[in-house]
Amino acid sequence: MSIVDGASQEALNRGGAQVHAVHLKLGALSGVMKDALLFSYGLACEGTLLEGSELVIEDVPVVVYCNTCEAEKTLDSIQRFCCPTCGTLTADLVSGKQLELVAIEIGDGPDDIETRMETSQLEGVSL
Binding residues for Zn ion (CB under 5 A): 66, 68-69, 83, 85-86, 88
CA–CA gap between residue 51 and residue 66 (Å, rounded): 44
Q: How far is the CB of 27 from Zn ion (least distance, A)?
A: 21
Can you list the alpha helix ranges (DSSP code H) found in the chain? 3-13, 34-45
- Which single residue brings its beta carbon nearest to Zn ion? 83
CA 67 to the chain's CA centroid: 28
Q: How far is the CB of 72 from Zn ion (least distance, A)?
A: 10
- Measured from the CB atom, the residue of 6 and 96 that comes closer to Zn ion is 96
- Measured from the CB atom, the residue of 85 and 121 that comes closer to Zn ion is 85
CA–CA gap between residue 72 and residue 120 (Å, rounded): 23
- Measured from the CB atom, the residue of 8 and 90 that comes closer to Zn ion is 90
Give the strand pairing for 54-60 and 19-27: parallel
- Measured from the CB atom, the residue of 13 and 85 that comes closer to Zn ion is 85
Within 8 A by CB and 6+ apart from 93, the residues are 29, 62, 63, 64
Q: How far is the CB of 73 from Zn ion (least distance, A)?
A: 6
Q: How far is the CB of 66 from Zn ion (least distance, A)?
A: 3
